[in-house]
Structures are given as structure tokens and as C-alpha cells.
Amino acid sequence: MESYSEQLHQLINAALKEDLGDGDHSTLSSIPADAKGKAVLKIKQDGVLAGLDVAREIFLYKEPSSKFTAFKNDGDEITAGEIAFEVQASVHTILKCERLLLNCMQRMSGIASLTRLYTNKLWGYKTKILDTRKTTPNFRLLEKEAVRIGGGMNHRFGLFDMIMLKDNHIDYCGGLEKTIQRAYDYVQGYKPNLKIEIEARSIEDVKKIVEVGKDKVFRIMLDNFLPEQIAEAMAIINRRFETEASGGINLNNIEQYAKAGVDYISVGGLIHQAQNLDLSLKAMISKN
């Protein structure tokens, strides 16, 4: 798999191509090609900063001689009115990169801010918060990075790095026992280090997985269980498998799930319910 840096550069390249087309005609028509300038990122809303390192990479990718000065770090709690960074570069570069870096940082900071709210709720518990694959196509790299910056943990990145057997897999395959065995045989013959997680939809499912999943399954997902059902399932599992709660979990009830003792809680809303944080890139003009 390509490194994070390689994937990021591919994302930046594709996004700039999408935005620029055959040229930034607004800038080409009004700004001399050799004009140099300075701009600052202004924070307009309280939250958690994410994407600052991405902004740096965007400028350096477009103009390696750009001078980028950070006043904050990714993961910092920020307040409206603060300045996150200053950049000095060609004015053409600043204007070409403006919307891309804002789109990235506003989206990432919104996700990091929401994730921080969830992780704060779990303070003192052993339970960890996970994201999901409910992401924006072709932007998953940075959305999951924002979760990490906000204090959460990344679940599988895609379909390739873990076997997750959910309700449709189980129903199409013909039941829990058959699904587990076929997945296990596949892993042994194809990719021995690939871990298997399987969804349980009821206490009966939990009992069956505990019975047939020994040495085959590493984690049980307890899907749409109430907190009291989680506690019942945990007693049955008795730490023989990792456990993950999912479905219907939000800021109002997440502590109830943590109290039940589950290892992980996955919340798709960390990403798809996050609201962008308000940021702006402003030109700094010298006054003579």
C-alpha cells in the first residue's frame, strides 16, 4: 500500500486539476505572474484544529520555495480570532491553493472537533472510539486523519485490510457458522495475518460466535444492542474476543455503552455528521 505522503500528494494533485482546469483565469487576468505575497489563516470559530500539516503540503507541492510558518499545531484547541499560520509565496500559488486548503482544513477541523467531544465523554473508561468507512469518496484519507487528530482511532481503512462479516455477508453465505468457517479458510489460504471481525445481531448470535469462533474470530461487533444487552453479551464473551459496539450511539448515550465495558465503540457520525469549522485565508498587504 502507498504511504500516507504518497496518497496525500495524489489527492492534492487530483484536487488541483479538478479546480484549475485550463487555468485560474481570475488570477491570470488580474495579478502579474511574478507578484509575491503573504497570507494568514484566520480562525473564525472555536474548535479543534486539523489539516495544518496538509495545508503546508499543499503549498510546498505547488511551490517548493514557499515559506510556511505555523503558529498552531494539529490537535490544538483553537479560539475565534487566532491565527493558525502565515504563508509567503507567489500570489498565483496562494490564490490557486486557497480553496483547496480551506476545504481540507474546514472539513478536517470539523471532524476533529466532533471527535474530541466524543473522546472527552470516554475519559476515564477503557473504551476507545472508532471511525467507520462512512466517508466521502476520495477524501477518506484526510477524514480518517482528522479523527486521529481529534483523539479517536481509525477502524479499517478499506475493504482490504480486515475481514468484517456483517449482516448481508452472513445472510448471503447462509448463517454464522458457515460464514466464519469460510472466512477462516480463506484467510489461511490467502492472507494469514488478515483479522476477522463478525457482527452479532442478538444475544443468540453472541452465544453462537463464542461457540464456533474460537481461534478464528478476533472481534465481535455488537450491532444495535442496548447498553444492558451489551453488558449481557460481555458476560458471555468473558474477554475471549475483542468487542465493539455499533449502531445508534451518540453523545447522549455513549457513556452508558462505555460503562458496560465494551472495548471499542464505532460511530459513523464522527465523519458524516461533522460540520465544517469556519476558517478563512486572508491576504496581508503592507501599508507604506
CB 131 within 8 A of CB 147: yes
Q: Any catalytic annotation for residue 201? A: no
Measured between its terminal Cα atoms, the distance across the chain in Å is 52
Q: Any catalytic annotation for residue 44? A: no
Q: Any catalytic annotation for residue 134? A: yes
CA 80 from centroid of its chain's CA atoms: 24
Name the catalytic one among 67, 99, 178, 214: 99
Burial class (CB in 10 A: 0-12, 13-18, 19+), 175: exposed
Count of alpha carbons within 13 angstroms of residue 247, beta-carbon side: 16
Name the catalytic one among 98, 145, 223, 244: 223
Q: Any catalytic annotation for residue 99? A: yes
- Helices marked H in 122-265 — which ranges? 140-149, 167-173, 176-190, 203-212, 227-237, 254-259
What are the CA-CA distances from residue 64 to residues 61, 88, 90, 283 (Å)? 6, 11, 11, 20
55 contact partners, CB below 8 Å, separation of at least 6: 41, 68, 85, 87, 101, 104, 105
Name the catalytic one among 133, 134, 208, 216: 134
Name the catalytic one among 98, 145, 199, 205: 199
CA-wise closest residue to 262 among 169, 128, 134, 131: 128
Name the catalytic one among 56, 72, 166, 201: 166
Q: Which residues are catalytic?
A: 99, 134, 166, 199, 223
